[in-house]
């Protein structure tokens, strides 16, 4: 019985570790979309990166508001 409980806890821990990167990615995506939507003429990738203080390794393509 203890083995089942231990594997259940390990499984939950693995799931929570996997959800952290997804939550961070979702937050970053929403932040980018909000920044673009609040701009009048869209933003270039560098402008988005500068406004949101994103690290250089995050690759963004230029976006324009419609």
Segments making up each domain of the chain, as ranges: 21-66
Q: What is the pTM of this model?
A: 0.54
pLDDT tens, residue by residue, 15-50: 556 667 788 889 999 999 999 999 999 999 889 999
DSSP per-residue string spanning the chain: -HHHHHHHHHHHHHHHHHHHHHHHHHHHHHHHHHHHHHSSS-B-HHHHHHHHT--TTS----B---
């Amino acid at each position: 019985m203890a083995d089942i409980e231990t594997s259940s806890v390990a499984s939950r821990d693995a799931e929570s570790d996997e959800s952290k990167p997804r939550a961070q990615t979702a937050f970053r995506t929403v932040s980018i979309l909000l920044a673009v939507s609040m701009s009048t003429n869209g933003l270039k990738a560098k402008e988005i990166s500068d406004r949101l203080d994103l690290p250089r390794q995050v690759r963004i393509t230029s976006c324009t508001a419609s």
